[in-house]
Structure 1
């Protein structure tokens, strides 16, 4: 804690008054002790009031002073960063359903594992977030517009089916369109809640051939950057993945490079996962990042609790040791 962590630091000036009280108490104790030495029989005094008892009698006042100091700090309003659920936000889950997602290097298959993890992500996302779903292969399809209804998204995830080709740029652009449509309903981009895209794929874009094409993945990522919509990408699968196409075994290794660049261009984060457990961990990380925000807020409660406990301890020790309250 420092001066900049306090809402009302001027309350700490009370500590100077508290220091004055301590000095006055010490002075009065010394004055009383000197007066007793001047007029008392020392042998009799040591027998009647041993030193250990004299020290113990100060415990209540020490505890009370500590309690007052802690309570003064509480009054100064200590501040701290706290993670709190977002009241509003928009997330579009974009899932690749190209034929390569049928690879079984991830059990039972890339798509089945992606469906299981996607439904879990929907369940665990905080309530204040509108969640939408876009799937893409050769084209992109908006399956669920952003909504707080998690069941709609989960039902749509269950119905995902494979198709030919991979148009990653189309998937991103479709997600951007859904976010901007919702923002328009909410009153425009200026007052719109924060939005992010979570894109899961296993391979390189095949339509168009050039990712810098006007409808390509890199162009779409730049568009997302302009709209302040980060695209968090998840490269899902392994280097040894393959699929059976018309009797031929076709290798479909993951393509980390292009997905990493999409995240970089858009201002998002890049993740990799090669199993369902790893994918769940990635989604959990994203859920914490997207579903919560850090806010500066009051942190005086612990100080109030400690101060109150010290007051009670001071009162209890005063009754036990001195047979009276301080």
Structure 2
């Protein structure tokens, strides 16, 4: 689209005015300078004649006329330069930004039991972590407007992605995680404590932790129930997800054997954590149930609603600035031809 077409569109969509309208005060400056400053005259006469006084009067009258003679190209260039300095702006098409969302921290269990291949994804058997990654990636796609962070835990808890609006970076960090990366045991209490520490540094608002685990707290310095009390004091709501144990483990020869996953998950503690902090407890025995849980979390923790529509201001000073330069060059050329 050419600059002229952009200006036509500016008036069609709505002219937003000038960002610096006071720059128009400079418009009469050249004429004020011409009127107030004295004409430059030589101190020594070049020619002495008896009727010099009359000639001097005639010359003075002509000088005044020349001073106020208008070079229309220069005047137009100055007008356009003042217009560019005032920063004309166009009102763009209305956009609806999201309102401030939640501070949402995801805590994912990377203990050794997450390697158990008792899940199904796309018609093939996968381990629990692979299934959780796939579902979490889809969940992240829908959290527009939320600041999302990621921490992982095993024997210890680690923050791998800070709270950010860049969900792609969180998804990338999640994709690179592997089972056993943080140790083979499960430190649920430490994971909650680390999440509360990160969330408490953020402005007060909707602070939410979604914790996914398939085991029992077997490591760490902080008891999960004590950690839940800390979360409650910091106004952090925790939703807990017990994942795994659908009774279809797999042997090394591909034969499915019963899994003991149900017995390895401390559902009572996870329920107590959720209840203490005002969150909810969920149980997922397969991928479909996990998908349903995150869909339910979208309802429990709704996605940010659209905010008030705004029309962005687009700068349109380049065109008058370019035209001012062009007319200025023409004015100089015209003056040279006349002289």
- TM-score category by the smaller chain? 0.5 to 0.7
Structure 2 distance, partners of 1:165, 1:153, is 24
What is the root-mean-square deviation in Å for CA atoms of aligned residues? 2.7
- Alignment match, 2:129: 111
TM-score by length of 2: 0.53
Comparing 164-173 with 231-240, greater Cα deviation is found at 231-240
**Post-superposition offset of 1:165:** 0.5
1:160 to 2:180 alignment:
no
TM-score by length of 1: 0.55
1:171 to 2:191 alignment:
yes
Consecutive unaligned residues of structure 2, counting only runs of 5 or more, are 1-96, 121-125, 253-257, 307-339
Identify the structure with the greater helix proportion: 1
Match of 1:217 among 224, 230, 239: 224
Match of 1:146 among 156, 160, 163: 163
**Is the Cα contact below 8 Å between 1:93 and 1:198 reproduced in 2?**
yes
- Alignment match, 1:91: 104
**Is the Cα contact below 8 Å between 1:243 and 1:252 reproduced in 2?**
no
1:201 to 2:216 alignment:
no
Quickly say closer, same or farther: Cα 1:242–1:261, change in 2 above 3 A: farther
**Post-superposition offset of 1:276:** 1.4
**Post-superposition offset of 1:122:** 0.6
Give 1:268-287 correspondences, 5 Å limit: 268-287=279-298
Structure 2 distance, partners of 1:169, 1:136, is 10
1:258 to 2:269 alignment:
yes
- Alignment match, 1:120: 138
1:102 to 2:115 alignment:
yes
**Post-superposition offset of 1:85:** 6.5
Quickly say closer, same or farther: Cα 1:277–1:250, change in 2 above 3 A: closer
Consecutive unaligned residues of structure 1, counting only runs of 5 or more, are 1-83, 184-191, 209-213, 296-326
Count of aligned positions: 196
Give 1:294-313 correspondences, 5 Å limit: none
**Post-superposition offset of 1:291:** 3.0
Structure 1 distance, partners of 2:249, 2:231, is 31
Quickly say closer, same or farther: Cα 1:223–1:285, change in 2 above 3 A: same
Structure 2 distance, partners of 1:221, 1:241, is 32
Quickly say closer, same or farther: Cα 1:203–1:292, change in 2 above 3 A: same
Q: Helix, strand or coil for the counterpart of 1:233? A: strand
**Is the Cα contact below 8 Å between 1:102 and 1:243 reproduced in 2?**
no
Quickly say closer, same or farther: Cα 1:229–1:120, change in 2 above 3 A: same
1:141-184 deviation line (CA, Å, top 9, x unaligned): 1011100101011001101112210000111111111112233x
**Post-superposition offset of 1:102:** 1.0
**Is the Cα contact below 8 Å between 2:146 and 2:304 reproduced in 1?**
no
**Is the Cα contact below 8 Å between 2:246 and 2:286 reproduced in 1?**
no
Give 1:183-202 correspondences, 5 Å limit: 183=203, 192-202=204-214
